[in-house]
């Protein structure tokens, strides 16, 4: 998850071509895999064409980049996975995460991921150079006039991105992504979808179960994004999770020799840090990213130590707002019909509840100015008729609050909640208990007991 985002990754744009011949439903091309190893990991890649607009299956298509790790033992089939974002590359994820997948999953299944439409090598959403400069240089709005200026800059930026990206810009929503996922399932020869989704990938999994419940096989979601949220709800929850992460970070100061805030109460630490976050887009981006993963807390200690000593210097990089793919998906998935005055009223309430991050997130939303209307109507997803869905929630998740997972599991007619007591974003690949539980379900169909809790 991001608030004001600096997107540093280089993206590759695929070519959109026209479809000719019979209707889309009549074509069943075979997948042709080619080696595309990365970091010594034997990944294979292929491309899959899907309609830009699924309501026009005979219209233009977009090429999706797809990758797989082949099963190392007796193969049972394919498990599809998405690493999150929105904007995360599934192709890059496979190579980077290969050693963190559980052994039993690697032995039994081909693990398949893809760059979702509008991301990475699947015709990434792009913007003209410098189109986001004004937005990047503006401070987080603190007044109605500043918010109105922010909205004008956001409107200009989004329109420029839409012109450069082309028709796909209007169709990078998760409901379209879900139909792409179903196409991948079909091409892989899987009668039902076996899937593991993390963070934003849980939204893909839940939406799939909502649209195609009868096609759900074994589905596991970890670090759940609430499908009942609109734009205001989402950023309120994300701010709440990040504020709790700072509380946990500060509470651990006594146990870390390098923590520079040990002499400050949590309240005093917030008073000191708040103006620094609001005054620097670089700090407002870097500090939340470090907070989300406790493994990054020693680096955060170092950064905050330099800030307290007065020795920190900004990088000097050109300021960017970025996050084109992220915002493009969020704005189609998370309706926001508020006026500037309503946004600032929500920002004031968020500032009172979450003093470090509430206003930064609430006042800088861009979806009310998006040139394409949202495609999703937030609602409880029950997925009646689906196979069992394993839902993992972390009590102090640093990006997606635990109650989002609790509510999602409760609303599903065939959901099972697994709780992890920890401070981190998700558990798969970090917690042996969570990793084993998800793998046992995906490989053997065995759910954890009702009320199961993983510690740490």
Q: Single out the residue of 17, 37, 84, 41 nearest to residue 330, CA to CA.
A: 84
pLDDT of 279 above 70:
yes
Q: Which residues contact 332 (CB under 8 A, 6 or more apart)?
A: 172, 173, 174, 370, 372, 374, 375, 376
**Across residues 199-218, what is the average pLDDT?**
98
pLDDT value at residue 162: 98
**Across residues 217-227, what is the average pLDDT?**
98
**Across residues 365-384, what is the average pLDDT?**
97
Low-confidence winner among 14-28, 65-79, 256-270, 358-372 (lowest mean pLDDT):
14-28
Low-confidence winner among 28-32, 234-238, 338-342 (lowest mean pLDDT):
28-32
Q: Single out the residue of 283, 11, 296 nearest to residue 139, CA to CA.
A: 283
User: What percentage of the chain carries pLDDT values higher than 90?
Assistant: 89
pLDDT value at residue 210: 98
Q: Single out the residue of 201, 199, 203, 182 nearest to residue 191, CA to CA.
A: 182
- Give the position of tokens 């809790």: 453
pLDDT of 17 above 70:
no
The structure tokens listed for 338 are 């508020």
**Across residues 240-246, what is the average pLDDT?**
98
pLDDT value at residue 5: 41
pLDDT value at residue 319: 84
Predicted confidence band of residue 281 (pLDDT cuts 50, 70, 90) = confident
The CB density around residue 21, as the number of other CB atoms within 10 Å, is 8
pLDDT of 404 above 50:
yes
Q: pLDDT higher for 456 or 418?
A: 418
The structure tokens listed for 133 are 């400069």
pLDDT of 191 above 70:
yes
Distances in Å between the Cα of 235 and the Cα atoms of 150, 172, 285 are: 17, 20, 15
pLDDT, the chain, mean: 93
User: Distance (Å, rounded) from C-alpha 123 to C-alpha 144?
Assistant: 36
Q: Are strands 34-35 and 61-69 parallel, antiparallel or unpaired?
A: unpaired
What's the pLDDT tens digit per position in 32-91? 999 999 989 999 999 999 999 999 999 999 999 999 999 999 999 999 999 989 999 999
What's the angle, vertex CA 3, arms to CA 354 and CA 395, rounded to 5?
55
Predicted confidence band of residue 29 (pLDDT cuts 50, 70, 90) = low
Phi, psi of 153, deg, nearest 5: -65, -40
Distance of CA 394 to the CA centre of its chain: 16
**Across residues 306-317, what is the average pLDDT?**
93
437 near 402, Cβ under 8 Å?
A: no
Distance of CA 140 to the CA centre of its chain: 22
SS (H, E, C) the chain: CCCCCCCCCCCCCCCCECCCCCCHHHCCCCCCCEECCECCECCEEEEEEEECCCCCCCCCEEEEEEEEECCCCCCCEEEEEECCCCCCCHHHHHHHHHHHCCHHHHHHEEEEEECCCCECCECCCCCCCCCCHHHHHCCCCCCHHHHHHHHHHHHHHHHHHHHHHCHHHHHCCHHHHHHHHHHHHHHCCCCCEEEEEECHHHHHHHHHHHHCHHHEEEEEEECCCCCCCCHHHHHHHHHHHHHHHHHHHHHCHHHCCCCCCCCCCHHHHHHHHHHHHHHCHHHHHHHHHHHCCHHHHHHHHHHHHHHHHCCCCCCCCCCCCCCHHHHHHHHHHCCCCCCHHHHHHHHHHHHHHCCCCHHHHHCCCCHHHCCCCCCCCCCCCCCCCCCCEEEEEEEECCCCCHHHHHHHHHHCCCEEEEEEEEECCCCCCCCHHHHHHHHHHHHHCCCCCCCCEEEC
pLDDT of 20 above 90:
no
Predicted confidence band of residue 278 (pLDDT cuts 50, 70, 90) = confident
pLDDT of 6 above 50:
no
The CB density around residue 79, as the number of other CB atoms within 10 Å, is 29
pLDDT value at residue 28: 57
What's the pLDDT tens digit per position in 282-298? 999 899 999 999 999 99
Predicted confidence band of residue 30 (pLDDT cuts 50, 70, 90) = confident
pTM: 0.93
Low-confidence winner among 20-24, 104-108, 248-252, 328-332 (lowest mean pLDDT):
20-24
Q: Are strands 109-114 and 193-198 parallel, antiparallel or unpaired?
A: unpaired
The CB density around residue 232, as the number of other CB atoms within 10 Å, is 22
What's the pLDDT tens digit per position in 131-172? 999 999 999 999 999 999 999 999 999 999 999 999 999 999
**Across residues 321-327, what is the average pLDDT?**
95
**Across residues 352-376, what is the average pLDDT?**
97
pLDDT value at residue 456: 76
**Across residues 291-312, what is the average pLDDT?**
96
pLDDT value at residue 98: 95
pLDDT of 186 above 90:
yes
């Amino acid at each position: 998850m991001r608030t004001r985002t600096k997107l540093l990754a280089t993206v590759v744009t695929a070519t959109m071509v026209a479809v000719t011949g019979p209707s889309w439903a009549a074509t069943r091309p075979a997948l042709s895999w080619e080696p595309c190893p990365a970091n010594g990991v034997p990944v294979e890649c292929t491309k899959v064409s899907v309609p830009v607009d699924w309501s026009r299956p005979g219209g233009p298509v977009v090429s999706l980049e797809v990758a797989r790790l082949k099963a190392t033992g007796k193969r049972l089939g394919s498990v599809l996975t998405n690493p999150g974002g929105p904007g995360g590359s599934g192709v890059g994820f496979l190579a980077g995460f290969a050693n963190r997948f559980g052994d039993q999953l690697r032995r039994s299944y081909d693990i398949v991921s893809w760059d979702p439409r509008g991301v990475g090598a699947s015709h990434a959403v792009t913007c003209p150079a410098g189109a986001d400069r004004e937005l990047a240089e503006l401070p987080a709005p603190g007044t109605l006039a500043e918010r109105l200026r922010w909205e004008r800059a956001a409107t200009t930026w989004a329109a420029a991105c839409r012109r450069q990206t082309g028709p796909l810009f209007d169709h990078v929503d998760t409901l379209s992504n879900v139909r792409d996922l179903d196409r991948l399932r079909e091409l892989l020869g899987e009668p039902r979808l076996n899937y593991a989704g993390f963070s934003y990938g849980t939204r893909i999994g839940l939406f799939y179960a909502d649209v195609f419940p009868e096609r759900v096989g074994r589905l596991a979601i970890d670090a759940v994004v609430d499908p009942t949220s609109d734009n205001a709800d989402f950023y309120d929850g994300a701010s709440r999770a990040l504020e709790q992460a700072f509380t946990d970070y500060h509470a651990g100061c006594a146990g870390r020799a390098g923590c520079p805030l040990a002499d400050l109460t949590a309240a005093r630490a917030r008073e000191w840090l708040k103006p620094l976050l609001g005054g620097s887009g670089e700090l407002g981006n870097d500090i939340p990213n470090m907070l989300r993963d406790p493994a990054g807390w020693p680096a955060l200690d170092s950064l905050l130590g330099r800030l307290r000593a007065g020795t920190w210097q900004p990088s000097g990089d050109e300021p960017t707002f970025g996050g084109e793919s992220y915002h493009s998906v969020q704005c189609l998935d998370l309706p926001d019909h508020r006026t500037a005055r309503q946004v600032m009223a929500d920002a004031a309430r968020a500032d009172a509840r979450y003093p470090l991050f509430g206003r930064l997130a609430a006042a800088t939303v861009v979806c009310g100015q998006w040139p394409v209307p949202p495609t999703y109507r937030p609602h409880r997803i029950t997925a009646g008729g689906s196979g069992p869905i394993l839902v993992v929630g972390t009590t102090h998740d640093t990006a997606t609050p635990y109650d989002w997972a609790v509510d999602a599991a409760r609303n599903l007619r065939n959901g099972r909640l697994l709780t992890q007591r920890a401070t981190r974003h998700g558990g798969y690949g970090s917690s042996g208990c969570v990793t084993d539980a998800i793998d046992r379900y995906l490989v053997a169909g065995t759910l954890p007991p009702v009320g199961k809790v993983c510690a740490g």
